[in-house]
Amino acid sequence: MIPTPWRQRLLQQAQQRSALGRDRSIQPAAGVDFCSNDYLGLRRDPRLAQAAALAAATHGSGAGGARLLRGSSPLHDELEAALAAWKGTEACLLFNTGFQANATLLPALVAQGDAIFSDALNHASLVDGCRLAKAGGAHLGIYGHGDLEDLTTQLSTWRASAPPGALALVATDAVFSMDGDVADLSGLVALCETQGALLLIDEAHATGLLGADGAGLAQLQGVHGRVPLVMGTLGKALGSFGAFVCCDQLLRDHLLNTARGFIFSTALPPPVVAAGLEGLRLARLEPWRRERALALAQTLRTALGQPPQPSAIVPVPVGPDVEAVRLARSLQAAGFDVRAVRPPTVPEGTARLRITTGAHLEDGQVQALIRALHEHSD
């Protein structure tokens, strides 16, 4: 068979990936879970399964259409109201995934002449949203990770030559997904309030875990209800699937009318929404879950000589890709499900293990992982 040009191109790319040790493959779950985002151990909780089954029987297995086309159910409205109340905002809009939310809400808000400023280590979905907004004519500024001084300078420089009335939007992860560190939200809120910029935070890894009521990093850092756009996901700590943006009614109406990922996509299935509602109820009702996940992460960090962080993500820096893969494989063989994270997910030369903790883990399992990490790293 003569290879077609597209086949040749793909084969070449596959060979390059493989030479760099960057092949990705789907590995089945095996061993003790130290890599999922099921921080509260709710994913397999029978109460979520029961809520989902009841919703399927009552409202159907699928939504049948987009929210704007008969795909909405009372459960969707109920979940939005519950999320808004929890996050301290006026309103909320569900999206099907966090990726879809981030990638499509940025271009819905920012137009030609406007600007987005994005933390250098933001999640890929925010990066893609920024790219789309830039393609639409917005200025894109990437500021140094957590560097508010750099952000302030970039904002002022842009503002000096921006057209009158141009909008600035600042986007940041709350908990950074590959490093487990957190943004300075109080600093960002103060800066954005003085500069009149719109702040978007991604609380994918903070929702359900941080703050007095588990509402997230904004709650932990004392700026609950002061962030105009709070995005979060239902597929991590809350044990279900989907995403949301908590905001005021004006922003919700705008996104409902303009965010293409909301408008042109079938709504979340009712069983998924019901499981999300139950996950949210349990996250608030059973604070021991988040306390346990965070305490176990802290135990790991202390054992690895790392400073404390309010998150359940613990990176183990390795460096070279092949070394990270080797370490992950030997830990997997010893019964621990840990995964290596390589570029382009993380910057070049910073391949690592991304270890996560959850309420379902036992102390003995964490101690065993610590021993194994010491034994298997050289």
Ligand X SMILES: Cc1ncc(COP(=O)(O)O)c(C=O)c1O
Footprint of ligand X (CB under 6 A): 97-99, 102, 123, 125, 173, 177, 202, 204-205, 233, 235, 243
Per-residue exposure over 251-261, b if at least 16 CB sit within 10 Å of its own CB, e if not: bbebbeeebeb
Which residues 6+ apart lie within 8 Å of 247 measured at CB? 89, 90, 91, 92, 93, 228, 229, 230, 255
Angle between helices 363-376 and 288-303 in degrees, nearest 10: 20
Q: Which of 73, 177, 265, 311 is catalytic?
A: 177
Distance CA 283, CA 371 (A): 31
Catalytic residue among 205, 224, 265, 311: 205
Structure tokens, 258: 């303009």
Shortest distance in whole angstroms from residue 304 CB to ligand X: 21
Residue (292 or 354) nearer to ligand X, CB? 354
Collapsing DSSP states into helix, strand and coil, what is residue 224? coil
Question: Minimum distance from CB of 126 to ligand X (Å)?
Answer: 7
Nearest approach, Cβ of 107 to ligand X (angstroms)?
16
Neighbours of 289 (CB within 10 A): 23
Closest residue to ligand X, Cβ-based? Answer: 98
- Assess whether 205 carries a catalytic annotation: yes
Reported as half-sphere exposure (CB side, CA atoms, 13 A), residue 163 has a value of 10
Of 280 and 373, nearer to ligand X (C-beta) is: 280
> What is the dihedral sign for C-alpha 70, 76, 81, 85?
negative
Query: Nearer Cβ to ligand X, position 98 or 208?
Result: 98
Q: Which positions ≥6 away from 102 have C-beta within 8 Å? A: 123, 125, 126, 128, 129, 202, 231
**Least distance CB 3 / ligand X (angstroms):** 35
What minimum distance in Å lies between the beta carbon of 166 and ligand X?
27
- CB of 115 or CB of 200, closer to ligand X: 200
Least separation in angstroms between CB 241 and ligand X: 7
Q: What is the DSSP string of 279-332?
A: HHHHHHH-THHHHHHHHHHHHHHHHTTPPP-SSSEEEEEEESHHHHHHHHHHHH
Active-site annotation holder among 59, 87, 139, 236:
236
Active site residue 125: no
Q: Would you call 177 a catalytic residue per the annotation? A: yes
Task: Give 266's strand partners.
Answer: 66
Q: Both tokens of residue 111?
A: 């137009």
Given the complex with ligand X, which of 174 and 372 has the nearer CB atom?
174
**Residue closer to ligand X (CB basis): 316 or 372:** 316
What residues are labeled active site? 177, 205, 236
